[in-house]
């Protein structure tokens, strides 16, 4: 079986290097109750998995907020037991208003957030749970340690970090194994290449979000060039572009074939 962009091991599974981010599914500013207009986003999710072989789906409890995880469940319920399908989510951010994203890493909140994600995704264990942001008001190891405790309880299979640098990765590794790091990276925004290299030396998969610069890099057929540059940084790098359009999804898949590492 082929996969868009080839394959990469993440969180104990071998998945497509071209994944699918779901933040945009909730609409502008990722803020929507999704009570209407659910058909198209659900169709894109199903097409990604069933038709194109995308087996890496990325979401978060803050998307919506608290709605996109449920949508992922509704769309992909028939595939949740598929061994190669990885559904990653993130906890540790709150949304007080459509334009606000705030870190919230208090251990009690993180515990409640994990329980909420389990319920919305309809699973007994999260495949991969990222700390969405390091809350500067809470000791970092307390945040990672909370996820590690829930991992030992069987509620999280693997732990990831988002928006972190090499120092935070090294600190987190003193508390728990880290299965993936997810940061913003694209051809026009190359400031995180040091973290890419640090992850390579540690054999940690690096997951690039916003790999196409929110669509800016797709102009004039640039999606293929942007993805090729990104995945060319090393076999430990994967990309999770987002889309709500089946047409755009097909373009992304087409642009990633033929040059997989």
Beta strands 7-10 and 13-16 are antiparallel
Residues 63, 130, 206, 209: which is the catalytic one? Answer: 63
Active site residue 130: no
Do the beta carbons of residue 208 and residue 185 sit within 8 Å? yes
Q: How many whole angstroms separate alpha carbon 223 and alpha carbon 229?
A: 10
Please name which of 110, 114, 129 lies closest in space to residue 176, comparing C-alpha atoms: 129
239 Rama sector, left if φ>0, alpha if ψ -120 to 50, beta otherwise: beta
Q: How many whole angstroms separate alpha carbon 157 and alpha carbon 117?
A: 13
Do the beta carbons of residue 125 and residue 154 sit within 8 Å? yes
Q: How many whole angstroms separate alpha carbon 17 and alpha carbon 20?
A: 10
Q: Apex CA 153: angle with CA 56 and CA 19, to 5°?
A: 5
**87: exposed, middle or buried (C-beta count within 10 Å: 0-12, 13-18, 19+)?**
buried
The sign one gets for the Cα dihedral 209, 136, 143, 71 is negative
Which residues are known catalytic residues?
A: 63
């Amino acid at each position: 079986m082929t996969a868009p962009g080839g394959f990469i091991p993440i969180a104990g599974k071998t998945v497509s290097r071209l994944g699918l981010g779901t933040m945009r599914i909730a609409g502008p500013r990722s803020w929507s109750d999704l009570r209407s207009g659910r058909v198209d986003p659900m169709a894109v999710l199903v097409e990604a998995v069933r038709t194109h072989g995308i087996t890496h789906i990325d979401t978060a409890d803050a998307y919506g907020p608290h709605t996109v995880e449920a949508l992922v469940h509704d769309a992909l319920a028939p595939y949740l037991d598929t061994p190669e399908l990885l559904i990653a989510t993130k906890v540790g951010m709150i949304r007080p208003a459509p334009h606000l994203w705030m870190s919230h890493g208090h251990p009690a909140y993180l515990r409640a957030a994990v329980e909420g994600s389990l319920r919305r995704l309809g699973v007994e264990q999260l495949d991969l749970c990222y700390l969405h942001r390091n809350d500067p008001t809470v000791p970092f190891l307390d945040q990672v340690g909370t996820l590690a405790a829930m991992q030992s309880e069987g509620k999280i299979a693997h732990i990831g970090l988002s928006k972190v640098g090499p120092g935070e990765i090294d600190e987190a590794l003193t508390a728990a194994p880290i299965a993936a790091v997810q940061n913003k990276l694209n051809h026009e925004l190359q400031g995180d290449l040091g973290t890419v290299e640090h992850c390579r030396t540690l054999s940690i998969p690096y997951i690039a979000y916003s790999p196409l610069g929110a669509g800016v890099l797709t102009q004039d057929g640039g999606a293929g060039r942007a993805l090729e540059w990104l995945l060319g940084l090393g076999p430990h790098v994967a990309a999770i572009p987002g889309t709500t359009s089946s047409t755009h999804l097909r373009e992304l898949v087409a642009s990633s074939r033929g040059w997989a590492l």
